[in-house]
Amino acid sequence: MRIAVEDLSVALAGRTVVAGVHLVAEEGEIAGLVGPNGSGKSSLLRTVYRHLRPSAGRVLLAGRDLAELRPAQSARHIGALPQERGGDFELSVREVVAMGRTPYKRAFASDDAEDHRVTAEALTRVGMAHAADRRFARLSGGERQRVLLARALAQQPDVLVLDEPTNHLDVRHQVELLALLREQRRTTLVALHDLNAAASVCDRLHVLHRGALVASGAPREVLTSELLAEVFGVRAAVVEHPLTGDPLIAFDHRSPAGVAAGAEADAEAAAVGR
């Protein structure tokens, strides 16, 4: 299912943090949002999964304005892994994942055989089936991340909206999660800090800077040395990955170039709160 953002603006505490953005994730495509801290990635994603209301513009799901759908309807189509992970649930891992079945159930209805099957399958997909009976509150950060992704998968959504899904994951589980996204072939809108991960997993990249969209296209077209210097304030070369052929960004960690730009981005992030 195609999802599109049209002329979207978002304001927080009277300040515009996303301004007039147009972007798209075509059906079955993984579209990545990249940009410095404070560029508006999280605020944009929050409007897509309806945690925030846009101050202007709209989000279209298969051509239909999301604002026209009831929350339960949109929850059947859009599954989210937000950056705000919530509190320490006093629930088991299985119970947390089963919460993803809520859009399909009547009020106070108990889980049926289909709910149990979907929940178990989602846990298996993220490698957490062995922990189904553990308390969610006792998991590590990386384990919680995988359980919350399983909850989103249990919704069986047409679209996944993921905000920094590789946070807290070790290298192995980062690789496994990104491979899972590729295998799903589900329309996905994902914000990633790791540009090399974005280059390897995304079909399309949208680059945000100071709340505006500054570039869109295939990773090979978007990730240039010039853009990395201008938007991220870093000196880097873009080469071919020796194993996959994807764009690989080699950063110059010795160069002081971009320090001022980086400091400015950090100050903006502190003001906006991402």
Taking only the tens place, the pLDDT of each residue in 159-186 is 999 999 998 889 999 999 999 999 888 9
User: Per mean pLDDT, which range of 98-102, 181-185, 212-216 is the poorest?
Assistant: 181-185
pTM: 0.88
Is residue 59 helix, strand or coil? strand
Amino acid (1-letter code) at residue 94? R
Provide CB contacts within 8 A for 32, sequence distance 6+: 190, 191, 192, 198, 201, 202, 204, 205, 206, 219
Angle between helices 141-154 and 113-125 (to 10 degrees): 140
Q: Tens digit of pLDDT for each residue in 136-162? A: 999 998 899 999 999 999 999 999 999
- How much is the average pLDDT of 12-38? 96
pLDDT in tens, 218-247: 999 999 999 999 999 999 999 999 999 999
3-272: what CATH class?
alpha beta
Average pLDDT over residues 186-207: 96
Q: Are 120 and 128 in contact (CB under 8 A)?
A: no
